[in-house]
Each structure stands twice: as structure tokens, then as C-alpha cells.
Amino acid sequence: MKLRELDIKNFGKFHDKTIPLHDGINLIYGENEAGKSTIHTFIRSMLFGIRRQRGIAARTDLYHQYEPYQNPGYYAGTLKFESGGKQFRLERIFNRENFRRELICEDDGERLSVGDGDLQMLLGGISKAVYDNTVSVGQMKSKTNEELERVLRNYMTNYQGTSDQETDLEGTLDALKRKKKAQETRKRETARNLEEEENQLDTRIDYVQKELNHKSDLRNETVENYKTEKKKLVEEKRRNGAAERQPDRSSKRGFKVFLVSLLVLLLLAVFVPKVSVKVAAAAGMIVLASLYIRYKMNQKTKKGSRTSPSVQREDHLSKLKWKADDLKGEIQNMKIQLEDLLEKDRELKKTMALPTEYDEDIKAVTMAMDLITEIADSMQNVIGDRLKREISDIMCELTDGRYHHVSVQDNYQIELHTKDTAVPLYQASKGTVEQVYFALRMAVMDVLCQEEEMPLILDEVFAMYDENRMGRALSWLSENRGQVLLFTCQDREERLLDQLNIPYHKILL
């Protein structure tokens, strides 16, 4: 890909400014605050858009930082570029109110869709993270951020030695990690539910066991009371039977009185006149009736006094027997209930001891992750070796052979190797550090942007270089990069380009 023209309609301080660009080195010169960073941001915003933040973040976001000074309601630009041998025009209006983006092939007039990924395809599939960490380099920003490590690791994982990078193993690994985490969460939830069920079951078992013991004790007590009362009843009936066999003296006395009274009436009937006899007979009959009634009442009273306690005791015994039988039924039911609960508890404990369906899934996911990691490690070794060679070659060129080898550890710690010693990067000068990260970016760019070479944008990156190393860097760029946009506020770059006879196109801001 090559940039052909920047048409800044209204962006930051620029209004209706057109900047043509060429192959090779484009030296964009401007004093401080001339707008170099604005042009740099404009290119990035045209390629990847510019997002408007909300709330407090909106005060310092790029959208508001580069909102046009004049007529902020019209926030737009056009970028013309070449890709795959064809000419394209990209138009954007950044305002949220009338947001628009159009991508047109100027060779045949075909309209492409930015939203459907046509622009990213023309960019060789590189993302904004790759762009920020390889293609676009600012002063004192040569060091890549953590996002590049992730992108590079993903590329190294997917690398097959061809341009086919559709299989996102890093993404697959992330998806497997999320699945494993989800299964582990479900497993913990299932375990908590089983533990809660077990606790509830134990509580019910404990309650039923206590009730069963209480009912058993109560029935035993009832049975003992029944036996005691029955024994008392038998003894009482025995005593009552003996008493009934004793002669009833009061009855005999009453009978004697009855006979005497009858004899008196007979005598009166013989010796007393008739009228008197009738009266006497009537009186006698009354007396006899009274005596007979009294006799019967005495008999009944004696009989009732003998049978009433026995009847009461028999009724009490019936109640005790009914209570004992009822408790026996309750105890049988509770024993069945307790056995059912104990069986459920045994089954639950077996379930808790067995592996769950989630264990199988977690095991399978872990095996898949291990396999992907193994593949990734082998691919990373291949790409890692290539990166180390390219970084070493670039550093050897920039330092005129002083550092002939650069080693990069797994944690991206870097060491510079001379013929005699190895120097950790943190012990090197600021200029050398900038050069190392510049070399790292260039090497990574060759790996990640090999499908479509992108224009290299350098914004004041040589401020810490001495002239010797800056000259070597310029020579390397002219030989190894198709298009370079070099922003500067000094004349060193131009002077060295002239001294080294390196062709360039100068743009004054």
C-alpha cells in the first residue's frame, strides 16, 4: 500500500489542505506546532476511524483534541492510496450527527464497504494495534506496548509458513480458557447445590430421628402404664367378687321387718272392724311398698358402689391401649420415612464422590489447551528465530557492527551482544534503546505486514540518534522500505539525505 494524497477538508488546525505524497522518503518539515502531529493523526484516523468518547473521557479523547478549529460541524477528509496496483479514494465525515465513510476504486468506480472489512483487506488485514506498534512511530515512542506482544504471539501461534492466517489459535485458546472457566464455575455451583441439599437432608434426618426416639419413649411409657393399670383392675375385680359372695345382713333385716309388718296387718284384719281394716290394710301396703323400694335402692347402691371404679379403670385401659397402638403406627411410618431419607443421603454422597459432567469437559478443554500451547510454542520458536535474526541484522547495520547480535527472551527482555560481552538493554544509552525498538518494530513489520507493505510513518524518531547512526538509519530505510513519511522540525535529516545522495520528496508545512 502507498499513500498518494492527503486532502484535509477540516481536521484540527488544517482546512482545505492538500498534501501529495510519493514513493521513497517523504520529508515533511515543519516547526513546532506547525501541524506534524495533526497530519500523523489524520492518516491514522482516515485508515481506522476516530471514536468519540463519552462522559469525562470525552474531554481528552482524540476526537475532541483534533476537532476543527473553524466550523467544527464539518469534520472530514479524503485519503487517496494505491493497493494491489489499483487506485482508491477513502472519504470520511467524522461528525456523529452526519457520520459517513465511503471507499471507492477510482479505476473502475466500484464502491466498497468499510463496514464489511473491504478497507482492512486492502490494508493487508493489519489491525489498529499492529499499525500503532509497527507502521506508526513517534518520538520517544519506539517502544512497543503490551498489545503488540499479544498480536505478535497470536501471529506466531498461527504461522504456517504461508499467507493463510485464518486459523486464530490464540483466539481459540482464549475461547477454550473462557469455556474452562465457565465449566469450573458451573462445577462449583453444582457442588454448592449438592452441599446445600446434603445439609437440608441431614437436618431432616436429625429431626426425624429425634421424633422417632421421642415417640418410642412415649409408647414404652404408655405400655408400662397399661400393664400397671390392668394389674390393678384384675386385683380390684378379685376383691369385688369376694365381697359379693358375703351375706347381705341389711337385706335380711329388711326382709324380717317386711314379715313382721305383714303379720301385724293380718292380726289387725282379724281383730279390728272392717272399716279400720281397710284403712290399716292401705297403710300397711304403703309401709310395705316403702320398705320394698328402700330395699331395692339399697341393693342398687351397693351394686353401683362395687362396679363404678372398675368401669372407669376399664375405660382408662382402653384409652391407653388405643394410644399405644396409635404410637406404634406413627413409629412404623417414621421408621419408613427415616430409611427413605437415609437412602437418599447415601445416594447423594455417592453422587458427590463421582466425577461430574463438568469434570469431563474441563479435562477435555485442558487437553486441547495443552495441545494448542505445544503447537504455539513450536511456531513461536520458528518466528522468534526469524525476528531475532532480523533485529540483529538491523542493529548491526545501524551501529556499524558494534552490536552484531540481539537476543530476545520469552518475557521480551532484550540483550545486546558485542564481540566481548552482552549488554542488557536497560544499561544502554537512550539513543541505543531507541534504535533497538526501532529495529524491533521494523522486524515485526516485516512479519505482520508481509501481505501488504504499509507506508512507514516516523515522527521525530531520530532526535536521540547521533549523525552517524541516523545516516545509517536513513540509508537502511531508502533500501528496505517502499514509502516513508519522515516528520521533522530540524534540518539534520535533509542535510544527511543530501550528503548520502538519497532521493526524497520534501513537503513544507
Reported as a single tens digit per residue, the pLDDT across 457-473 is 999 888 888 999 999 99
| pLDDT reported for residue 159 | 41
Whether 427 has a pLDDT exceeding 70, the answer reads yes
114-128, 141-155, 205-219: which has the highest mean pLDDT? Answer: 205-219
Mean pLDDT score, 73-95: 92
Residue 493 one-letter amino acid: E
On whether residue 323 sits in a domain, the answer given is yes
On whether residue 487 sits in a domain, the answer given is no
pLDDT confidence bin for 483, thresholds 50/70/90: very high
Whether 24 has a pLDDT exceeding 90, the answer reads yes
On whether residue 158 sits in a domain, the answer given is no
Can you say whether residue 501 is alpha, beta or left, with left for phi > 0 and alpha for psi between -120 and 50 degrees? left
Q: Looking at 73-82, 301-310, 346-355, which range is the least confident one?
A: 301-310
More confident residue, 75 or 283: 75
Domain assignment of residue 345, given as a range: 185-354
More confident residue, 145 or 344: 344
Whether 335 has a pLDDT exceeding 60, the answer reads yes
| pLDDT reported for residue 284 | 60
C-alpha of 418 from chain center: 51
On whether residue 47 sits in a domain, the answer given is no
On whether residue 205 sits in a domain, the answer given is yes
Long-range pairs, 236-245, Cβ under 8 A, ≥24: 236/309, 236/310, 236/313, 237/310, 240/306, 240/307, 240/310, 243/306, 244/306
| pLDDT reported for residue 162 | 35
The total number of structural domains that make up the chain: 1
pLDDT digits over 233-283, tens only? 788 778 776 655 555 555 556 556 556 666 666 666 666 555 455 565 666
Question: Are 358 and 187 within 8 A, CB to CB?
Answer: yes
More confident residue, 296 or 479: 479
The percentage of the chain sitting over the pLDDT mark of 90, rounded to a whole number, equals 30
pTM of the full predicted structure? 0.57
On whether residue 252 sits in a domain, the answer given is yes
pLDDT confidence bin for 10, thresholds 50/70/90: very high
On whether residue 449 sits in a domain, the answer given is no
The mean predicted confidence, pLDDT, of the chain is 80
The percentage of the chain sitting over the pLDDT mark of 70, rounded to a whole number, equals 74
More confident residue, 191 or 27: 27
C-alpha cell at 320: 391407653
On whether residue 15 sits in a domain, the answer given is no
Q: Looking at 102-106, 291-295, 397-401, 440-444, which range is the least confident one?
A: 291-295
| pLDDT reported for residue 155 | 47
| pLDDT reported for residue 370 | 73
pLDDT digits over 439-450, tens only? 888 887 887 777
C-alpha cell at 505: 520528496
pLDDT digits over 192-224, tens only? 998 999 999 999 999 999 999 999 999 999 888
Whether 139 has a pLDDT exceeding 70, the answer reads no
Judged by DSSP in three states, 102 sits in: strand
Distances (CA, A) of 464 to 138, 285, 432, 435: 12, 156, 8, 9
| pLDDT reported for residue 157 | 47
Q: Looking at 8-12, 17-21, 229-233, which range is the least confident one?
A: 229-233
| pLDDT reported for residue 410 | 59
Q: Taking the CB of residue 493, how many other CB atoms lie within 10 A of it? A: 26
Cα 228 to Cα 225: distance, rounded to the nearest angstrom: 5
Whether 80 has a pLDDT exceeding 90, the answer reads yes
Cα 71 to Cα 78: distance, rounded to the nearest angstrom: 17
Mean pLDDT score, 383-400: 82
pLDDT digits over 339-356, tens only? 999 999 998 888 888 877
